[in-house]
Amino acid sequence: MQITITLNGTKISPEIEPDTLLIDLVRSQGCYSVKRGCETANCGLCTVFLDEKPVLSCSVLAARADGHSVTTLEGLQEEAKEFGAFIADQGAEQCGFCNPGFIMNALALFREKEFPEEDEIREYLAGNLCRCSGYEGQLRGILAFLDWKREKQKEAAE
C-alpha cells in the first residue's frame, strides 16, 4: 500500500506493507535518531512527533500516519542543539543511545509547559530508559537549561 506523510517537512509517498511500524518507516528514510529499544512502548527511545504530539513509533502502524506530519530529531536540529548542550555538560550522555528519545520528550515537555517544575519534569520523563546515568545528570541538565532560558528572557526584557 502507498501512504503519503510529511517527514521532517518533506512530503514522501513510500510503498509499505500493512504491518509496517512507523519506526521502521522513518528509519528506512534515514532517520536513525529513532532507536529500537524495548519494542513494547516502555523505553521512549523511539519517540517521534506525530502532528506535533510525542508518540512511541514502535507501537504505531505507519499506515496510521498517512496524511499526517511526522517529525524526528533530524527535523528539530536547531531546537535540540541548544538543549542538548546542557545535557552533555552534566555528563548525562554517557553512551548516548537514549539521547534522541530523551531530547524529543524534553522538547515535547517544553512545548507543553515552558518552565516546568522539577516534579513535573520527573513525571513527564519517567518513560525514558537510560541504563548509564541514573537520570540525575539529565535532570540537572534540564534544570540548568531552564535557568539559562529564564536568564536569557530576563536579559531580553531589559
DSSP 3-state of 115: coil
Are 15 and 62 within one domain? Answer: yes
What is the C-alpha to C-alpha distance for residues 112 and 41, in angstroms, rounded to an integer? 21
What is the C-alpha to C-alpha distance for residues 60 and 149, in angstroms, rounded to an integer? 34
Query: For residue 87, what pLDDT is reported?
Result: 84
What is the count of structural domains for the chain? 2
Are 56 and 114 within one domain? Answer: no
Helix, strand and coil percent figures for the chain, each rounded to 5: 45, 15, 40
Q: Tens of pLDDT along 78-93?
A: 888 888 888 888 876 6
Domain limits for position 128: 76-157
Q: What is the CATH number of the domain that holds 70?
A: 3.10.20.30
Q: What is the CATH number of the domain that holds 122?
A: 1.10.150.120
Q: Tens of pLDDT along 17-47?
A: 999 999 999 999 999 999 998 878 888 899 9
